[in-house]
Amino acid sequence: MGSDKNSAGLLPTLRMERVRTILTHTYPYPHEHSRHAIIAVVVGCLFFISSDNMHTLIEKLDKNIKWWSMYIAWILVAALYHLPSFQSMGLDMRMNLSLFLSIYISSILFLIVFHIIFLGLWYLGLVSRVAGRRPAILTILQNCAVISIACCVFYSHCGNRAMLRDRPFERKTSNWFSFWKKEERNTWLAKFVRMSELKNQVCSSWFAPVGLASDYPLLSKWVIYGELACNGSCPGSSDEISPIFSLWATFIGLYMANYVVERSTGWALTHPLSVEEYENLKKNQMKPDFLDMVPWYSGTSADLFKTAFDLLVSVTLFVGRFDMRMMQAAMSRVHEGTQQDDLFYDHLSEKEDLWFDFMADTGDGGNSSYTVARLLAQPSIQLSKEDSVLTLPRGDLLLVGGDLAYPNPSGFTYERRLFSPFEYALQPPTWYKHEHIAVNKPELPEGISQLKEYDGPQCFLIPGNHDWFDGLNTFMRYICHKSWLGGWFMPQKKSYFALHLPKRWWVFGLDLSLHNDIDVYQFKFFSELVKNKVGENDTVIVMTHEPQWLLDWYWNENSGQNVSHLICDYLKGRCKLRIAGDMHHYMRHSYVPSEGPVHVHHLLVNGCGGAFLHPTHVFSSFNKFYGKTYECKASYPSFHDSNRIALGNILKFRKKNWQFDFFGGVIYFILVFSMFPQCKLDHILQGDSFSGHLGSFVGTVWDNFVYVLEHSFLSLTGVVLLLIMAIAFVPSKVSRKKRAIIGIIHVSAHLAAALILMLLMELGLETCIRHKLLATSGYHSLYQWYRSVESEHFPDPSGLRARMEQWTFGLYPACIKYLMSAFDVPEVMAVTRSNICKNGIQALSRGGAVIYYASIFLYFWVFSTPVVSLVFGSYLYICINWFHLHFDEAFSSLRIANYKSFTRFHINRDGDLEVFTLAVDKVPREWMLDPDWDMEQKQPQQLSHRRKYPSKWSAAAGQQDPVNTVRVVDHFVIRQNEKPDFVSSNGSVSR
């Protein structure tokens, strides 16, 4: 397989042999490094230090990204040290890697022994009691890594050679500060240009070894000797102590000394926080601890698995078998026929006018949820309208249309994703305790005897489908049995309600549960309320969680029969407005005047309260509801912007959903598992032209595809399961035939990508093997090479290493040996591949096969993850923009926090309803303590809604603060005195 004849064709055209010869270093290893590498390191360090980029980068890397970066660094180092190009620069990564692992393991063992001894002294009472606090293992590992890297950098630059054997001590001392002598500065500047001389000066003067072994007779058997520095054969062993050992011992000694002083002198008791820790703590207190948006495609989130489980349990148990709404109806007290204290509220009906707000679908990202909450909390919002300034006071009432927290209802999500942003925007009273449960609502503030006397903002909420995932348990506990959502008072006792507002306006808040309809007890309450309380000239706003007019049109269904019956047969034209959330965008449709009854004048969807964005262009063709024609009057974002945003699935899917890589890479590996290894690649490598190579490559991909279908077991099983999942993933609104076609095309794209990646990886391995870059030294090539050069660069005349091997029963060299093998994955992979191609897969033991496929997986997984994200993101883009499918999946993947809005209503003195929809195009990501809020004088018992500056955080960039960027995206008026036509009970048309 490695013959010269087989390497003809493509490889000679690329002149790989010539390139390899040119790049191979010709001078002895290890220390005559290219000055270009040193200059590049210096310049890079200066750049990061001056621009502070490294500090910013480290701050932004979360824990998962750090582990991902370590994994990528590991496999890259394992692959790159085989390349001769680094050796041509004088940088042989084998020595650095071997030295790092040796020092790292030794440092860990040494520090662990030290900490055990120190804890023993603490147990005996010989040190301060504060020393009993156990050290963090991650801190030990981090310190050992830093020490090892420092020693490797020193070795790369200076080696392990003692360079001051023949120089007197006085000369050594005088050179330490020679740079600061004025008469020698010019000499140093000249030497800086001559990098090799500067290097020798630094190594010999600034990092000189501590001396000779003869200087330390008591430790002569324990010292690690320096490199043999002589021309030709050396007459005897080196007597010089290793500079690397000196550096390592210095760092270890400093760590031990610092630890002993800190733990045994009581310093930690008198100084509980260092200056750096105090500054970090202070900095964290000066910004909110908002949660990021839910990663819907993470695949590894425990919240998402809990969401799926809760949904399954709720659908099979709670809905239809144990419905919480039945329990609420049974517990409600009935007075005077239809009057129910727990469901009906008329304390606002006597006001002259009323401002109230509507928002829905909050509790996803902290930045987006707080943006809306901050606007809702402002005493007033000033907007520029043409040549005038429009002032909109804060709503006395806040209506929330469901989905209060994502992805599932739990104490954590409600507290961190819902209550936290609202409490930052408008603080609850000082006497309010989060753990308090309201037994008898409404629990009014002190000095107020009736609900109608309270003049602060109030809040009423209905549950959404996400709130029903646990059978409404969390909603009941946090909404119906608590009194405050931030500074908004919550008198609500049940999950549905009726509000009597001024000027004969009503709000019916319906609970649709998970089957998109009201139950019979709920229907009975509202129908009797309409008969006995709602006048013929009254007007009703129906609030539901889901916009059934849009979803029924999209899915071609007819849901909410009881809701339709209530609106059409009981309200009879008195419902002029329906409002809903669930769809995370804003759309308003108004009816087109025509003959016949109009059951609803306006249909309004606004689910931009804090969740990810939904598209609008998918619903651009909607125009029918209850047999009437409707016209889209406003959409936010616009249809054009919505179409453009969908393109982000191709460009940003992996960036937004990098956790998706975990399952994506595993699936790709399963699809091509049976294809490894590819031993017959001569026909690809022997082509005479690019078209010939490409044709052979495509033919090989097709042959492998046929092999998967005809001979493979595991890969074929993976293809079949993936096909079933892909077909089930296609929305059910299309026919089964189209779903099957879309699923087959989707899976074929993934399978083709996986086969291409597999073949490219095998070609790379084959090329390296033929050019003797891999599969040349066996499974432990790195360890064997290190042992071959160890005696030269790290001599051991006292036999210390042999005694350590004896004392540890062989554990010390075995540990280093197998750890180095873990950093030589390409060699292991190439050697095993060559054995399989020569003797067959049956020649491998079960353990050998596991090692081979695990090694293949490590690299194939990294290569495949960007591709699987690109293919899947492209699939979502094509479906959403070409076929209007996957509107939920294609936009939840983007996790867009921008385009947030809420709707503010005003019932004026004439009884008309003014409707303003306010929006913020870009949500701030950085917040700071609002100086106005901080400096405003606070009274002990003052309610937060009376403050001029009620919100704690403002945008770090003032021009990006939502108070300054909010704008009106829709404005219309509903006249109460315009009576719509409706069908009377006898079938005639009345006016």
pLDDT tens, position by position, 738-757: 999 999 999 999 999 999 99
**Do 495 and 566 lie in a common domain?**
yes
Q: Give the model's pLDDT for residue 621.
A: 94
* 371 and 250 within one domain: no
Number of H helices, E strands in the chain: 39, 25
927 and 881 part of one domain: no
β-pair partners for 606 = 586
For residue 150, is it within any domain?
A: yes
Domain co-membership, 931 together with 785: no
- If one compares 867 and 93, the residue with the highest pLDDT of the two is 867
Cβ–Cβ contacts within 10 Å for residue 708, how many?
A: 23
pLDDT tens digits, residue range 869-921?
Answer: 999 999 999 999 999 999 999 999 999 999 999 999 999 999 999 999 999 99
Is residue 375 assigned to a domain?
Answer: yes
- Token pair, residue 676, equals 């490894």
Interval 442-486: pLDDT, tens: 888 888 888 999 999 999 999 999 998 888 889 999 999 999 999
Pull the structure tokens for residue 637: 């974002």
> Which is more confidently placed, 944 or 213?
944
Q: Are residues 444 and 464 in the same domain?
A: yes
* Pair 900, 608: CB distance under 8 Å: yes
CA distance 969 to 721: 46
Q: Which domain holds residue 767?
A: 661-793+800-891
For 245-289, how does the pLDDT look when each residue is reduced to its tens digit (9 = 90+)? 888 888 898 888 888 777 665 544 444 555 555 555 555 567 888
Asked if the model's pLDDT at residue 440 lies above 50, the reply is yes
Q: Are residues 613 and 701 in the same domain?
A: no
> Is the CA virtual torsion 304, 309, 312, 317 positive or negative?
negative
Query: 409 — phi, psi (to 5°)?
Result: -80, 115
Q: Which candidate, 81, 87, 777, 858, places its Cα nearest to that of 769? A: 777
Same domain, 887 and 903: no
Position 354 pLDDT exceeds 70? yes
Mean of the per-residue pLDDT values for the chain? 80
**Do 493 and 542 fall within a single domain?**
yes
Residues 260 and 145 in one domain: yes
Whether residue 85 has pLDDT greater than 70: no
Tell which of 858, 891, 924 closes a domain. 891
Length of the chain, in residues: 991
Report the 10 Å Cβ neighbour count for 938. 11
Pair 808, 753 in one domain: yes
pLDDT at 166: 44
pLDDT range class, residue 97, cuts 50, 70, 90? confident
In a domain, 292, yes or no: no
Query: Is the CB of residue 952 less than 8 Å from the CB of residue 424?
Result: yes
- Report how far apart, in Å, the C-alpha atoms of 201 and of each of 189, 227, 308 are: 12, 18, 66
Residue 119 lies in a domain: yes
Tokens for 441, please give them: 């609502």
Where do the DSSP E strands lie in 557-679? 575-580, 586-591, 602-606, 624-625, 628-636
Long-range contacts of 10-16 (CB under 8 A, 24+ apart): 10/684, 10/685, 10/686, 10/687, 10/693, 11/685, 11/767, 11/770, 16/767, 16/771
C-alpha 970/C-alpha 949 separation (Å) is: 27
- Separation in Å, CA 964 to CA 960, 961, 967: 7, 5, 9
| 504 within domain boundaries | yes
Range from 222-231, 294-303, 778-787 that averages highest in pLDDT? 778-787
List helix spans (H) across 222-301: 243-264, 267-270, 275-285
pLDDT of 771 reads 82
Q: Mark which of 874, 891, 908 sits at the end of a domain.
A: 891
- The answer to whether residues 513 and 593 belong to one domain is yes
Q: Which of 121, 140, 139 is nearest to 130 (CA)?
A: 121
Q: Which two tokens stand for residue 383?
A: 């907007």
Model confidence at 586: pLDDT above 70: yes
Query: Are β-strands 602-606 and 624-625 bridged in parallel, bridged antiparallel, or unpaired?
Result: unpaired
pLDDT band, residue 171 (cuts 50/70/90) = very low
As beta bridge partners, residue 539 has 505
Residue 656 in any domain: the answer is no
Phi, psi of 268 (to 5 degrees): -70, -25
Is the model more confident about 126 or about 605? 605
Q: What is the pLDDT of residue 735?
A: 93
User: 97 with 77: CB under 8 angstroms?
Assistant: yes
Separation of alpha carbons 429 and 484, rounded Å: 9
Q: How many CB atoms lie within 10 A of CB 121?
A: 14
Contact 426, 385 (CB under 8 A): no
Using alpha carbons only, what angle is made at residue 717 by residues 713 and 719, rounded to the nearest 5 degrees? 120
pLDDT level of residue 417 (50, 70, 90 thresholds)? very high
Is 782 in contact with 827 (CB distance < 8 Å)? yes
CATH number at residue 951: 3.60.21.10
Average pLDDT of the residues in 389-400: 95
In this structure, of 56-60, 123-127, 325-329, 823-827, the range with the lowest mean pLDDT score is 56-60
Report d(CA 296, CA 437) in Å as an integer.
32
Percent of the chain whose pLDDT exceeds 70: 76
Contact 506, 457 (CB under 8 A): no
Is the pLDDT at 154 greater than 90? The verdict is: no
Contact residues for 910 (Cβ-Cβ < 8 A; gap 6+): 503, 976
Region 204-209: mean pLDDT is 62
Give dist(CA 43, CA 269) in Å, integer: 42
User: Same domain, yes or no, for 595 and 719?
Assistant: no
Strand order in the sheet with 913-920: 484-485, 488-489, 458-461, 397-400, 354-359, 900-907, 913-920, 967-974
Where a domain ends, among 869, 891, 913? 891
Q: What was the pLDDT predicted at 321?
A: 52
CB-based contacts of 799: which residues, under 8 Å, 6+ apart?
Answer: none
Q: What's the pLDDT band for 802 if we cut at 50, 70, 90?
A: confident
Radius of gyration of the chain (CA): 37
Asked if 343 and 525 touch (Cβ cutoff 8 Å), the reply is yes
Q: Give residue 218's pLDDT.
A: 64
Q: How far apart are CA 115 and CA 122, in angstroms?
A: 10
**Mean pLDDT, to the nearest integer, of 546-567?**
94
Q: 184 is written with which tokens?
A: 């020698």
* pLDDT above 90 as % of the chain: 43
Mean pLDDT check: name the lowest of 384-388, 691-695, 970-974.
Answer: 384-388
Can you list the pairs that 930-935 forms with residues at least 24 positions away whose Cβ atoms lie under 8 Å?
930/954
Domain count, the chain: 3
Query: What residues pair up with 541 in beta bridges, in sequence order?
Result: 507, 577
- State how far the Cα of 653 lies from the Cα of 953, in Å rounded to an integer: 31
